[in-house]
Structure 1
């Protein structure tokens, strides 16, 4: 597996099988859920994939061409969003911050 790339549960099972540790997709999903609950992994919604969690107040920028995901730091996002939600009587349970576009290397190839 290449660092910086998010992986789907099926990609994780394929790599595990290649390395001699067969894993069903259900097992991979169960492990991923536990890692998400511990704050160690985040699901990247736009790719239906998973990556190491960048930390509190973070999100991802995702290249739609090469699928790399980079962490961005947004230190005040959660308190601000909780305040906005509270003002309209909405209880926030989860928030995902993702931006998609093209990374610099992919942009260069298009020039």
Structure 2
């Protein structure tokens, strides 16, 4: 029950974030966001499409990809490149000063696939410093770290 309440809170925050930015969280975009938030692990676009077709029989790949692009642009979800899948953003709607494009890192379990978003400023600062040393101007950084989650390590 708490998970449903948390998801509803996240959806309300997403609506508020979009409204503040002058963007519209349409019913379709909201449905795709809810599917991403419901997923127990990062979820791929075609898996989302399969779920969406149960609610919208005419849904096609461009439908999902346009919704995902919007949600990414608004910082409500992230793409985990290694998995070619999407995950809800832990930071969305929290009023963070870095707006919706914030530095983040993903911890990906090689055993169970669990993925956790973290936003460790020390990692971000180290990457920025390394980039500056070689004259590289950093625009955006996502770090994906593979290993073993605590649950799998205990097993």
Question: Structure 2-normalised TM-score?
Answer: 0.59
* Equivalent of 1:44 in 54, 70, 80: 80
Q: 8 Å contact 2:43–2:86 — kept in the other structure?
A: yes
Tell me how far 1:72 sits from its aligned partner.
2.5
| Match in the other structure for 1:75 | 121
Is the counterpart of residue 62 in structure 1 residue 108 in structure 2? yes
| Match in the other structure for 2:144 | 98
Is the counterpart of residue 21 in structure 1 residue 33 in structure 2? no
Is the counterpart of residue 34 in structure 1 residue 70 in structure 2? yes
> Alpha-carbon deviations, 1:21-54, whole Å to 9, x = none?
2321122111111111111110001111000112
Structure 1: gaps spanning 5 or more residues = none
Q: 8 Å contact 1:57–1:77 — kept in the other structure?
A: no
CA RMSD of superposed structures (Å): 2.1
Structure 2: gaps spanning 5 or more residues = 1-34, 92-101
> Which range moves more in the overlay, 67-76 or 3-12?
67-76
Q: 8 Å contact 1:57–1:76 — kept in the other structure?
A: no
> Which range moves more in the overlay, 82-91 or 44-53?
82-91
Tell me how far 1:70 sits from its aligned partner.
1.5
More helix by share: 2
Aligned length: 108
More strand by share: 1
Q: 8 Å contact 1:44–1:51 — kept in the other structure?
A: yes
Higher relative contact order (CA 8 A, sep 6+): 1
> Which range moves more in the overlay, 30-39 or 70-79?
70-79
